[in-house]
Chain A
């Protein structure tokens, strides 16, 4: 059996064009990417919990129901295994579903559909059947939502073969990566941190609002961005921690400490070249990750450098969530999150030796 991929009408989308002047929040940038794609390609549809009338509880799908109607924007029951399977079916037949899991934390009830089916059908079919599906989910803490609604968990998806994993930090990348994810013939897990969406009711970082081209474009999956150039120490990070790292880098620049910030943007594929290139320059590596510390992204990034050339590393450390459930109490939660204060301390420690 061969899946018939949908009519690909946009092979010539711009790749990372100039941002221009028009500003959006990350949430609105995601909505725009989905909306523009749905307008051009009838095989794209959206499905998940509260994606319709509510517009996604973190505003990832606001306005889509009004524009495209209930046939193409479908609210589902709280039945994650069923509706992720319901996305995989049309995907293998050539449609391009965008399925929202709501919280990343909820994957526990539907992981078989994700990692044994969505991620493995292409391999199991000998490459004959593609699964061009986007699995979208919110991640991250910082707003007292407790241990079961505050996790990042992107490292878990990245660990399991067969899925691309993207985690944008800003409006520009969110739109370009969403378009790239929908265009991809492989399953893409699109994780957005609630703290980068630019929502009024969350703690809002100014970096969650930014210039976004009005036309469609792609940010290539698997390509990191040097968010800030520096010479003393490299911070490799992702998502909301990019904002914190840039804030710290700006602060320390006035003291003559030059911090380079690499926004990975994708975990799978991982831009290993970008990591090695930066550490070759600075010799000092700090990995900042809001996911759990052990067996995850931070160890992988350090291993990339060590396998390439361990003598590059003069200093290495990581600022992650220690291996504990995320506390509900504000003070305790902020004691485990990779806060600007923890990142700053790590940078000072790295350049002191």
Chain B
């Protein structure tokens, strides 16, 4: 099982951000080239790709404040 974390975008301990869009659902097959999410900190966006291939389970909701570095999904 591999964790997918919210990217550390601010370089500040404890800073937060939001998941703008999940492009996949729990149970979807993903690979390291699958765009799984777009996240935003202030108005800066970043794309999130999984580190490995497998079946993804989402652990966080869109449009809620999340601390950067939090595990937002797992790939098994």
Contact = CB atoms under 8 A, between A and B. Distances in A.
A25 B38 contact: yes
Interface in B39-61: 40, 43, 45
Given A24-B35, A28-B35, A200 B23 contact: no
Contact of B21 (A21, A62, A201, A209): A209
Contacts of A204: 20-21
B18 interface: yes
B18 A200 contact: yes
A23 B24 contact: yes
A200 B45 contact: yes
Contacts of B43: 201
A198 interface: yes
B40 A201 contact: yes
Interface string B14-26: 0000101101100
A25 B20 CA distance: 11
Contacts of B35: 22, 24, 28
Contacts of A199: 20
Interface string A1-39: 000000000000000000001111100100000000000
Nearest to B25: A23
Contacts of A200: 18, 20-21, 38, 40, 45
A25 B40 contact: no
A24 B23 contact: yes
Contacts of A59: 45
Nearest to B45: A200
- Which interface residue of B24, B40, B45 has the most chain A CB atoms within 10 A? B45
Contacts of A201: 40, 43
Nearest to A28: B35
A204 B40 CA distance: 14
A345 to B, nearest CB: 29
A198 B45 CA distance: 12
A21 B18 CA distance: 24
A204 B20 CA distance: 9
Interface in B1-38: 18, 20-21, 23-24, 28, 34-35, 38
A59 B21 CA distance: 15
Interface of B: 18, 20-21, 23-24, 28, 34-35, 38, 40, 43, 45
13 contacts: A21-B28, A22-B23, A22-B34, A23-B23, A25-B38, A28-B35, A198-B21, A199-B20, A200-B21, A201-B40, A204-B20, A209-B21, A209-B23
Q: Which A-B residue pairs are the 10 nearest by beta carbons?
A: A200-B20, A23-B23, A200-B40, A201-B43, A209-B21, A25-B21, A198-B21, A200-B45, A200-B38, A24-B23
Interface of A: 21-25, 28, 59, 62, 198-201, 204, 209
